[in-house]
Amino acid sequence: MSTRRIFLQKAGLSTLALSLPFANSLSAMNTDKEDKVLRVAIMGLGSYGTRVAEAMKDCKRAKLVGVVSGTPSKVETWKQKYGIPDKNCYNYETFDQIKDNPDIDVVYMTTPNSLHKPHCLSIAAAGKHVISEKPMALNAAEGREMVASCKKAGVHLLVGYRMHFEAKTLEVVRQQRAGEFGKTLFFQGLSGFIIGDPTQWRLDPALAGGGAMMDIGVYSINGARYMLGEEPTWITAQEVKTDPVKFKEGVDETITFQMGFPSGAVASCLSTYSLNNLDKFYLNGTKGFAEMQPSTGYGPIKAWTNKGPIEAEHITHQTTQMDEMAAIILDGKKPLIPVDGEEGLKDLVIVDAIYAAAKSGEKIKLG
């Protein structure tokens, strides 16, 4: 069943509901919820922060209202471009004052990986919800600290897993969970591109915590988990480095890794900063298959199964993500694929194991 047919079915149910005697009260309840808007401050005004800000122009439930940056010129530009008031603008020295600002609900961190944990702890202490770009932290130990801090403060910790809300991705997951591919026994994830500027923070181990694995490789880790619907029990990995100057100590260039799952399924994945045209997911079962290429880029995503192509309207991923995250925070909505801190932590446990396996050459058992 295509995503379009699912939409039409849901639309039909909605029409039926409106004909029921209590439809007016239900409609009023839904309107009240949808009138609430999540007020967002972006921390880190680089290229990805800009992408999120632009996408939020089309959001119905989320609005950009604040910024946090160490660069005054960027703050001034964003103030003018997005109509952000002075009182909602912070630098890293004044950021703790955000606790006294009732006009900001959540802070979205698009800063380098090594800053996620300290910034998260500060945001939670200020009583604001947290959205972190992936990976959530440098390692699982930091991730656990972030989860605990947000739980203690009573705030949400979400991770920017935009693919968890992408229509074609969700349709493949739905078909897998419905058994339409039979018993799924194999997943392949290919994630890579040729990275440019050698001075960028993603090639600085102190800021990135690694290399390709901490950037693009997380997509294959996460994709294997939600496509198979299981958590891995073992991991093996191999690292290859062809340019030790560009990819210095602590910065992985290419890692291939394998994961085994309780059902007997296996995943074979590649993470690299040295090859383009690597953005592919492939899922195979006893009755059928699904393939996506591109699978995690900014879109449009292309997907097909043994029954034919999956059709769905392309909507900017970050627009859908922020509206859905507004529903999670404001309405208590439960997404099909989680995007909370515990989900981010599961990926970090696997990242730690991949690095350990690549270093030791041994199979690492999980759980």
Chain Cα centroid distance, residue 228: 17
Burial 9-38 (b: 16+ CB within 10 A, else e): eeeeeeeeeeeeeeeeeeeeeeeeeeeeeb
| Start-to-end C-alpha separation, the chain | 35
What are 79's two structure tokens? 């103030």
* Strands (DSSP E) found in 201-265: 234-240, 254-260
Going by C-alpha positions, the residue among 188, 186, 178, 175 that lies closest to residue 292 is 188
Angle between helices 3-18 and 167-177 (to 10 degrees): 90
Identity of residue 361: G
Q: How far is CA 38 from CA 20, 41, 351, in A?
A: 31, 10, 31
Choice among 134, 168, 280, 346 that is catalytic: 134
Choice among 90, 161, 219, 355 that is catalytic: 219
Q: Cα-flanking dihedrals φ and ψ of residue 223, to 5°?
A: -60, -40
Active site residue 287: no
| CA–CA distance, 228 with 185 (Å, rounded to integer) | 8
| CA–CA distance, 211 with 105 (Å, rounded to integer) | 32
Active site residue 302: no
H-assigned helices in 126-166: 140-153
What residues are labeled active site?
134, 219
